[in-house]
Structure 1
Amino acid sequence: MEIEDRLSRTTRLLYERNMRTLVASAFAELTLREIGVARCDYFIKQLARQSYSRARQARVVLRLALGLAVRHEIIPRNPMDHISRLQRPARCPDVFEDSEIWQIRDAIREWEERPMASGPRPDGQLGQIVEVLLGTSVRIGEVLAIRIRDIDLRGAQPTLHICGTIISRKGEPTHRQNHPKTSRSVRTIVLPLFAVRAIRERLRNRLSIDPNALLFCNRKGGPLTTNNVRRQLRTIMDKAGLKKVTPHRFRRTGATAIYEAGGIDLAAGLLGHTDSRITEQHYIVRDDLVDPATASMLENRFGR
């Protein structure tokens, strides 16, 4: 019940913010009876030209507000029920080229090995985090939530058990949540050798042998924040002249590689998706080259 109350409070605050920042100014000078289908439709379409996400959020809160007016019999119908459907813009997921992966690795290594006039030398965690991201296609929060007990490098197939994520909420200390984003996201992944090497290197430098200790952590043993990792990665990449290097892009890159080699279902399983359509729409870059076999089939049928 407490979780439900917290979610409802969070949702209410989100709706209030969206109403205040996205909707209120456009309708502040109008009476409820002046807010019709055409006006609502125009407002949502204009907002969608700037941002599909903001238009979708505005549509939700405006529908709720006008629905309340209908229930109180202030207006006879909800004009939001009759506006045009929002069309999600086509988007092609961006992935790294193989050459870019090597450039990223080189940039991180040069940064970690650079001459230091003062202060502690980087401990190699960022490069190791990137290798695990690329070798598992998991979310950055899930990588930072890996405990020593979640790693098994002794078997014939080294594995990593994904069963948590890092949470940073305003007013709360950053902490490890004992489950990832969804129930399907709990999974065990067989590791490629480059990820195994990165984890072994980290374990050699990790002082704690507590099985519940985090693999990647700050100098006091506490969890790293996802924002700090993103910020550090962005700083290093900017200095190296590499743009749009984000943790999530490694996830899409790995998923696309698996899709090309093993198909959409295998990629969806690696990502922890319950529906492969999510994988296909948001994570996979498809090759637009049609199977060359079609040429020989048509030649056999219609050729002279």
Structure 2
Amino acid sequence: MTRGRPRTPIGTFGEIGVADLGGRYRASTRFRDLDGRLRRVTAVARSARAAQTLLKARLVDRAGYGSGGLLSVASSFGELCELWSQDLDLRDISEGTKQNYRDELRLHVRPAFEPYCLGEITTGRVELFLKRQAAVSYSRAKHSRTLLNQMFSFALRHDALARNPVEGTSQLTRPRHDIHAMTLEQVQAIRAAAAAWRTGPNVKGPRPDGKVRDICEVLLGTSMRPGEVLALRPCDVSDPPGGMVVHVRGTVVRRKGVADFRQDHPKTDASTRRIAVPDFAAQVIRARVGEMALEEAETTIFHNRDGGVITLHNLRRTFREFLKDAGLEDSGITPRWYRRTGATVLARGLGIDAAAAFLGHTSTAVTEGHYVEPDTSVDLSPARILDRTLRPVKPDGRLLADSASEVEEDLLEGIDAADDDAA
């Protein structure tokens, strides 16, 4: 098989030739246009160097890459970063997600590709970068791949590239690892530690108000994210004879440079949901709401002494004290494990779809939102299952004692992946 001259890539040109016209010089080359055809481009000037400079200027401005937007194949990666960041500021996504993108760009992606212009960033270079990221962690590689895909799609829309170099890279493989829910013994040990925390005769300083202890009960009973529980207000709670229902429509978030605050919407649209509350968690909410005045309907149920939100940092710090007193300091358990535990109970008791709907961030919510007429009723069966399995007195631990199926492990992995930037 004979090998011909390598094809000139679209948007690039071949060797530049210069001809002496007698006092003037003509520089010429062949440019491969967007339609794939090679066309000769020329420029004439009084010196050979001036002719070449003029020709290159014409090539940069030639109709094709760069003519439809603010970028071209010759643009630096830094220019793409600046323009994409400006576009990011205008997007309708949470500030937390935007900040995660900015941090990923600043710390990992920009330093790796800063030396290149866009035309030099090949699929092979992106592949090598992602493999290096994956060697550190799957999560880092996944975040970098998502960010690069968005950035090069942005460049594609501005005619700066012929194709997105991320598209040809290898699929990332999530490493299989055990993601555990809490055992019933661990749940009860943390309960006991929370009830006894700083209550002994030798404790100095003010006695605890029990709010973090009660937050743990609500986390356990509702499988909500910690920030969603911290954002609950009396106006989000209805307590009819059939059982308490809470409306999840906010979350407490952390932002760099500002104090924690209540955001008027949860992490995603699917996270806005109404869920039935098991009796043991309803008793906690009922008691806390009963201590609040009518004019405090929009104050968070779990607030600090000044009426502000309890911060995520303070929740986690006190929770670590509970773990220490329970002898579980090295277990790796965090407040997120309550969500895993509830998901496990529901998946085994009612099935994966029921657990997904209750958690509020999976594909079933998309189906319901686009193809099924919204149902304003609330399914009480998850609350019954959670109450039977996790109540403080005589819990039935059979569901938590079962072994995890592969589908269930995927659900738990999905919880961690979807909640990475959430409280």
TM-score range, shorter chain: 0.7 to 0.9
Distance between the aligned counterparts of 1:186 and 1:9, measured in 2?
A: 14
Distance between the aligned counterparts of 1:130 and 1:9, measured in 2?
A: 26
In structure 1, what is the equivalent of residue 348 of structure 2? 260
Distance between the aligned counterparts of 2:110 and 2:240, measured in 1?
A: 60
Alignment deviations for residues 113-172 of structure 1 (CA, whole Å, 9 cap, x no partner): 233543221011111111111111111111111112222335232222222211332234
> Is 2:192–2:326's contact at 8 Å kept on the other side of the alignment?
no
The alpha-carbon distance between structure 1 residues 107 and 28, as it changes in their structure 2 partners (threshold 3 A), is same
TM-score (norm 1): 0.76
> Is 1:153–1:159's contact at 8 Å kept on the other side of the alignment?
yes
Distance between the aligned counterparts of 1:269 and 1:250, measured in 2?
A: 17
> Is 1:264–1:276's contact at 8 Å kept on the other side of the alignment?
no
Which structure is richer in relative contact order (CA contacts within 8 A, separation 6 or more)? 1
The alpha-carbon distance between structure 1 residues 265 and 7, as it changes in their structure 2 partners (threshold 3 A), is closer
From 219, 224, 231, the counterpart of 1:145: 231
> Is 2:152–2:164's contact at 8 Å kept on the other side of the alignment?
no
The alpha-carbon distance between structure 1 residues 55 and 223, as it changes in their structure 2 partners (threshold 3 A), is same
The alpha carbon displacement at 1:16 in A equals 5.3
In structure 2, what is the equivalent of residue 293 of structure 1? none
The alpha carbon displacement at 1:33 in A equals 7.4
Distance between the aligned counterparts of 1:161 and 1:211, measured in 2?
A: 14
In structure 2, what is the equivalent of residue 136 of structure 1? 222
Alignment deviations for residues 165-206 of structure 1 (CA, whole Å, 9 cap, x no partner): 1133223443322222233323222222211222234345x3
RMSD: 3.5
Distance between the aligned counterparts of 2:128 and 2:337, measured in 1?
A: 35
> Is 1:259–1:284's contact at 8 Å kept on the other side of the alignment?
no
SS of residue paired to 2:305: coil
> Is 1:160–1:191's contact at 8 Å kept on the other side of the alignment?
yes
In the alignment, structure 2 segments of 5+ residues that lack a partner are 1-87, 367-406, 415-423
From 304, 316, 320, the counterpart of 1:234: 320
Distance between the aligned counterparts of 1:254 and 1:15, measured in 2?
A: 30
The alpha carbon displacement at 1:277 in A equals 10
Which segment drifts farther, 222-231 or 36-45? 36-45
From 169, 173, 196, the counterpart of 1:87: 173
Distance between the aligned counterparts of 1:67 and 1:183, measured in 2?
A: 24
SS of residue paired to 1:168: strand
Equivalence map 1:18-97=2 (5 Å): 18-26=104-112, 36-62=122-148, 64=151, 68=155, 79-97=165-183
Distance between the aligned counterparts of 2:339 and 2:146, measured in 1?
A: 30
Aligned residues: 280
The alpha-carbon distance between structure 1 residues 38 and 188, as it changes in their structure 2 partners (threshold 3 A), is closer
Distance between the aligned counterparts of 2:346 and 2:93, measured in 1?
A: 38
Partner AA of 2:351 in structure 1: G
From 208, 214, 237, the counterpart of 2:293: 208
SS of residue paired to 2:255: coil
1:282 aligns with 2:411: yes
Partner AA of 1:261 in structure 2: G
Distance between the aligned counterparts of 2:365 and 2:199, measured in 1?
A: 42
> Is 1:252–1:284's contact at 8 Å kept on the other side of the alignment?
no
Distance between the aligned counterparts of 1:158 and 1:57, measured in 2?
A: 38
1:245 aligns with 2:333: yes
In structure 1, what is the equivalent of residue 79 of structure 2? none
In the alignment, structure 1 segments of 5+ residues that lack a partner are 286-304
Distance between the aligned counterparts of 2:244 and 2:98, measured in 1?
A: 45
The alpha-carbon distance between structure 1 residues 23 and 186, as it changes in their structure 2 partners (threshold 3 A), is closer
Partner AA of 2:348 in structure 1: E
The alpha-carbon distance between structure 1 residues 118 and 80, as it changes in their structure 2 partners (threshold 3 A), is same
**Bigger strand fraction:** 2
Partner AA of 1:176 in structure 2: R
Alignment deviations for residues 34-77 of structure 1 (CA, whole Å, 9 cap, x no partner): 7654443233213202111211233345563698599557xx87
Equivalence map 1:94-173=2 (5 Å): 94-115=180-201, 117-173=203-259
The alpha-carbon distance between structure 1 residues 194 and 8, as it changes in their structure 2 partners (threshold 3 A), is closer
The alpha-carbon distance between structure 1 residues 67 and 268, as it changes in their structure 2 partners (threshold 3 A), is closer
The alpha-carbon distance between structure 1 residues 112 and 60, as it changes in their structure 2 partners (threshold 3 A), is same
In structure 2, what is the equivalent of residue 296 of structure 1? none
The alpha carbon displacement at 1:220 in A equals 1.1
Partner AA of 2:173 in structure 1: Q
In structure 2, what is the equivalent of residue 292 of structure 1? none
